């Protein structure tokens, strides 16, 4: 039942992306509201979002950045080659 509350940020993100036509704003609001709803309902703990373990940052926020870094660098490289 608690995990159903996590649909609220998804719905909020869809509404903002349709009304404002700003994908970056919608993703930011979805991420922040998802963290808040998850913490308030007990689905997430602060350590799930970001924590320090053996001197290194861990959590889904840092894992997401690490996972997208290669893709972002590839896209920027292709843009540089194309002269965009």
Do 81 and 53 share a structural domain?
yes
Containing structural domain, residue 33: 1-44
Do 3 and 27 share a structural domain?
yes
pLDDT at 75 (0 to 100) = 94
Q: What is the pLDDT of residues 13-22, one digit of tens each?
A: 999 999 999 9
Do 71 and 37 share a structural domain?
no
Q: What is the pLDDT of residues 38-59, one digit of tens each?
A: 999 999 999 999 999 999 999 9
Helices 7-20 and 23-41 pack at an angle, to 10 degrees, of 160
Do 55 and 84 share a structural domain?
yes
Do 4 and 29 share a structural domain?
yes
pLDDT at 48 (0 to 100) = 94
CA 14 to chain centre: 14
- Tell which wins on pLDDT, 1 or 24: 24
Do 68 and 32 share a structural domain?
no
Candidates 4, 25, 2; CA nearest to 13 is: 25
The number of domains in the chain is 2
């Amino acid at each position: 039942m608690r995990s159903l509350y996590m649909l609220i940020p998804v719905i909020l993100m869809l509404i903002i992306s349709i009304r404002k036509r700003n994908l970056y704003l919608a993703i930011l609001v979805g991420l922040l509201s998802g963290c808040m709803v998850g913490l308030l309902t007990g689905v997430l703990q602060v350590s799930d979002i970001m924590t320090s373990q053996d001197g290194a940052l861990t959590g889904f926020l840092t894992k997401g950045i690490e996972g997208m870094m290669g893709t972002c660098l590839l896209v920027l490289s292709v843009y540089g080659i194309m002269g965009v």
